[in-house]
């Protein structure tokens, strides 16, 4: 078995937003198994989450929410949209 580590590079904004999402999925919902039904995947999820938690000072900032909102906005803009996409609505044919 090859145990050579894999390096993944993220911007700070990407890392911050991912860290928040992982926290929500892993600890607030308290049901990681509902999201990821294959326990073998959890090892990687825990490794990524732990690395982000020890790397990001932003997660301890008193203005966490404001920083997170700003990071999300910058990432949305970088992807070509300023706002979250709304679900598509059906068009009625009259």
Instruction: Write the pLDDT tens digit of every residue in 30-78.
Output: 677 778 888 899 899 999 999 999 999 999 999 999 999 999 999 999 9
Q: Which one is predicted more confidently, 91 or 7?
A: 7
Neighbours of 69 (CB within 10 A): 11
Kindly report the pTM of this predicted structure. Answer: 0.76
What is residue 53's predicted lDDT score, i.e. its pLDDT?
Answer: 93
The whole-angstrom separation of Cα 10 and Cα 30 is 26
Does pLDDT of 27 surpass 90? no
What is residue 1's predicted lDDT score, i.e. its pLDDT?
Answer: 64
Residue boundaries of the structural domains of the chain = 12-76
């Amino acid at each position: 078995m090859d145990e050579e580590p894999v390096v993944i590079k993220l911007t700070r904004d990407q890392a911050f937003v991912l860290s928040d999402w992982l926290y929500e999925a892993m600890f607030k919902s308290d049901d990681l198994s509902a999201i990821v039904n294959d326990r073998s995947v959890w090892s990687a999820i825990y490794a990524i989450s732990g690395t982000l938690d020890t790397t990001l000072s932003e997660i301890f900032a008193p203005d966490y929410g404001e920083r997170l909102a700003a990071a999300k906005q910058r990432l949305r803009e970088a992807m070509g949209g300023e706002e979250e996409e709304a679900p598509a609505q059906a068009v009625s044919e009259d």
